[in-house]
A and B are shown apart, each in its own frame.
Chain A
Amino acid sequence: MTASVSFWRSAGLSLLILAIFLGAWEIAVMPKAGGGGAALDPEYAALLGQAAAQGGTTPMPGPSAIGKRLFELLADPFYVRGPNDQGIGVQIAYSLLRVGAGFGLAAIVAIPLGFVIGMSPLLNAALNPFIQVLRPVSPLAWMPLALYSIKDSAISAVFVIFICSIWPMLLNTAFGVASVRREWLNVARTLEAGRWRTAIRVILPAAAPTIVTGMRISIGIAWLVIVAAEMLVGGTGIGYWVWNQWNNLSIADIVIAILMIGLVGLALDRLLGLGARAVAWRE
């Protein structure tokens, strides 16, 4: 199935698809020659809110307009002019900070706990019902509870990230630890390696690829959830920024935000991909 294709051929095709897509988009949004006064769907007008109420229409920007706007935004991504006017770089940095804090805390809790669960069939069986019930809950469902008990929207967003990151790491760590080969454990036992040395030198490296896979899934979910969480709590972050641009009807900014979210998500995944490669082993 997956015969190897040359990089240049696939990259060329990718560029071609992109060019066709952007070209079609540009043509589609070009102002029509004899147009003017196209009747607006009333529902659509209602959705557009103030801008439509003022009689103005916001046309879908074409790639060239978006490109121009992207250039503007990236020319000074880190400016801060008051709480509601900060550069896109600053907003992404806020989001990354929240994801980093929530994900980091989750890793600190999930990996050691997963280790213990993986080593003890009793604990595994005892905690399994709780994990099974809590895991499928949308992390955003925790938001009201977090806001109520923490009373701080910024920390609540971090808490939501924490909750959504914890399950894949917990389950993968427990699974990885529980499925370490019996023969390696026997080697450690015959060497009288002791619990600590066995955990660090044998179980951890044996389970590391599975653990990192869990981390990779977690960070992907965290990055998905942060946008929604920031739309809810507001203030700062790329999610809030998207929502803000929607209120301003800056469609070009929204498209740019989507692109940026995608690129940052890709970068996060690649980062953990590097981690996965560092701990991989082959028999």
Chain B
Amino acid sequence: MIEQNLSELEEKSIYIMREAKMKFKNIGALWSMGKDSTTMLAIARKAFMGKVPFPVIHIDNSIDFPETYKFRDYLAKKWDLDLIVAKSEIKPEISGFSCCGANKTEALKRVMAEYGFDALIVSIRRDEHSIRAKERYVSPRDKDFVWDYKNQPAELWDDYSSKAKKGGHVRVHPLLDWNEIDIWRYIKKEHIPINALYISRNGYRYRSLGCTHCTVPIKSDAGNVDEIIKELKTTNVEERSGREQDKEKEYIMQRLRSLGYM
């Protein structure tokens, strides 16, 4: 996995977040308490003089791990975050693919409507999945949250000009250029607090976090951030292979995304 220049990545993410803040009236950010969205918040603190200037949204389906809730409450207090918890209901009959789609997207739609957000910061990276490699830094979604990937607007140089269509919003992706290993190197460099689930316990750790229903841990003895970085330098396994939802169908990400799920 290629290690990129951290200060270049950081500067660009800062620039993108400032652009978003200046261009859009009402921004929210998704926070899953995972490594990427937590890193995004750490960068936002740097971009905006020490304080995250937008609300952070947790789509809570009540089946996240206890560690995740604990970490959420700890960091929300420590960083003085404006936390919105959007409860989503898990219906037992819905599982796997339809789980994230039906349950999470509905909750997100409700929260977006209630707060009237016109832009949503989402901490996806290109190297997560080949479909994400096609994303723009600023990417419009229509009123049904659909990503019209066949008809994406131009995005040249530093000109992030995309606007939301009527009733829709834009997704802002400040971490698009980052690789998984860069996130961990940055966490180490900046001493960013992380969810305990990433650290190995009894020979297993989580590499990518979803809820208790669709995330499985990987075999790993990495007991701290340094060891995680070391592990990533040699791995030949996809980051999201621990997520059941990906396995179910080949084009699931595409569908999830066009349904509006991140």
Chain A bound to chain B: no
